[in-house]
């Protein structure tokens, strides 16, 4: 994650209890943020040994029925501090600094973080409550299970994880890959994704899902922004509409928490604003002087922030919600 994107993430998460960041050192760190202060010492450091350009996805909405990874079929864990067993193939490795007590969270804090794995075509889910890597999508040790390979799709470039209301508390993951395809996973079945689609001709760089988990937006290195719907009963991801751009490259997408406004950050230095429900353009913001690589809305819907390689973070008040 670039320095400007890191600044953006930290600023927008100040109203929360904690946040996570990732760096080029192969670690993911969980930070405590209280009363507008930020400690220099992270609550938790995960040595994931992942070196890539894929931004993490933090799941902050807990549920009383969130299910542990130990219940997933055809999958085995390695405890914290243990080493992989080369004979049985049960290793999912990784080292963690910090204790579960140090990173225990309330129902409003983060519970899962999804990242592209050490094998760059895989997705890893880390449970921040017990400091363990819980799931790989797809897993290495498929054994007798019928598996699916993601290696031919190239690197995982974008991840969005969520806990849909109809999933009985189980995590769902939408992942975009280097070949332009997207896979939708339910971690109750880590061997086979629910569906596979290809809306883009170039690497998928950004994904976001709306608050109802009924759909979202994807951006890629090509010249398209795609609105898609998620049918949880059928396990289908369907393209609804799309917008063609004069210049390609969408590094970040974000949907305002009220699901009314959406924004994209582009390689052409522009931030674009859309009516999320209609998929229609509303505005083009031309403040930044270099590639825009991150955009996000505050949880109260009153502010939007954009970050750029010109080392600036801009705050915007756009179409404020009715009081």
pLDDT digits (tens, 9 = 90+) for 64-108: 334 444 443 333 332 222 223 333 333 333 444 544 333 333 344
Which residue, among 184, 183, 182, 187, has the nearest Cα to 168 in the 3D structure?
A: 187
Q: Write the CB contacts of 78 (distance below 8 Å, at least 6 apart in sequence).
A: 84, 85, 90, 91, 92, 93, 133
Domains of the chain: 52-91+100-316 (2.130.10.10)
CA separation, residue 314 to residues 118, 208, 258 (Å): 33, 21, 21
What does residue 44 show for φ and ψ, rounded to 5 degrees? -150, 135
Q: Are 194 and 171 in contact (CB under 8 A)?
A: no
**Pair 13, 33: CB distance under 8 Å:** yes
Spatial distance between the Cα atoms of 67 and 168, rounded to a whole number of angstroms: 8
pLDDT of residue 74: 32
For the chain, the first-to-last Cα distance in angstroms comes to 35
How many whole angstroms separate alpha carbon 147 and alpha carbon 193?
A: 10
pLDDT, tens only, 119-129 = 889 999 988 87
Q: What is the pLDDT of residue 61?
A: 52
CA distance 289 to 64: 46
Closest CA to 263 of 240, 285, 291, 287: 285
Pair 232, 239: CB distance under 8 Å: no
Number of neighbours of residue 20 by Cβ within 10 angstroms: 23
Q: How deeply is 48 buried, as exposed, middle or buried, from its count of CB atoms within 10 A (0-12, 13-18, 19+)?
A: buried
CA distance 61 to 202: 32
Q: Cα separation of 181 and 194, whole Å?
A: 14
Strand, coil or helix: 12: helix
Q: Using an 8 Å Cβ cutoff, are 206 and 157 in contact?
A: no
Longest Cα separation, the chain: 61
The label of the residue with tokens 């050490």 reads 118
Q: Is 317 left (phi over 0), alpha (psi -120 to 50) or beta?
A: beta
Query: Low-confidence residues of the chain, pLDDT below 70?
Result: 1-18, 34-38, 60-110, 141-149, 323
pLDDT of residue 43: 81
Q: Which tokens sit at 277?
A: 């429900």
Question: What pLDDT, on a 0 to 100 scale, did the predictor assign at position 93?
Answer: 36
The CA radius of gyration of the chain, in Å to the nearest whole number, is 19
The secondary structure element, H or E, covering residue 7 is helix 3-12
pLDDT of amino acid 211: 92
**Environment class of residue 39 by beta-carbon count within 10 Å: exposed (0-12), middle (13-18) or buried (19+)?**
exposed
């Amino acid at each position: 994650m670039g320095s400007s994107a890191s600044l953006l993430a930290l600023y927008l998460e100040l109203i929360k209890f904690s946040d996570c960041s990732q760096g080029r050192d192969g670690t993911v760190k969980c930070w405590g943020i209280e009363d507008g202060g930020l400690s220099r010492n992270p609550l938790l450091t995960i040595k994931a040994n992942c070196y890539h350009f894929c931004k993490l996805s933090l799941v902050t909405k807990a549920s009383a029925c969130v299910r542990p990874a130990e219940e997933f079929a055809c999958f085995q864990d390695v405890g914290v501090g243990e080493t992989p067993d080369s004979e049985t193939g049960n290793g999912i490795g990784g080292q963690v600094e910090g204790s579960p007590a140090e990173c225990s969270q309330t129902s409003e804090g983060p519970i899962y973080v999804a990242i592209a794995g050490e094998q760059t075509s895989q997705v890893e889910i880390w449970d921040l409550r017990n400091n363990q890597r819980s799931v790989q999508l797809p897993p290495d040790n498929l054994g007798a299970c019928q598996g699916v390979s993601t290696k031919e799709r190239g690197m995982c470039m974008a991840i969005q994880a969520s806990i849909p209301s109809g999933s009985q508390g189980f995590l769902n993951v939408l992942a975009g890959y280097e070949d332009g395809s997207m896979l939708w996973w339910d971690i109750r079945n880590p061997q086979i994704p629910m569906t596979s689609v290809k809306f883009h001709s170039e690497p998928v760089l950004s994904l976001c899902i709306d608050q109802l988990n009924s759909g979202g937006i994807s951006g890629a290195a090509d010249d398209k922004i795609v609105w898609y719907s998620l049918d949880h009963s059928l396990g289908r991801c369907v393209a609804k509409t799309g917008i063609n751009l004069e210049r390609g490259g969408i590094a970040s997408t974000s949907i305002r928490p009220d699901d009314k406004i959406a924004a994209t950050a582009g390689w052409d230095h522009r931030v674009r604003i859309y009516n999320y429900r209609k998929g229609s353009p509303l505005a083009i913001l031309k403040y930044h002087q270099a590639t825009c690589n991150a955009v996000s809305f505050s949880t109260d819907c009153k502010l939007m922030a954009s970050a750029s390689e010109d080392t600036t973070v801009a705050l915007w008040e756009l179409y404020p919600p009715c009081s």
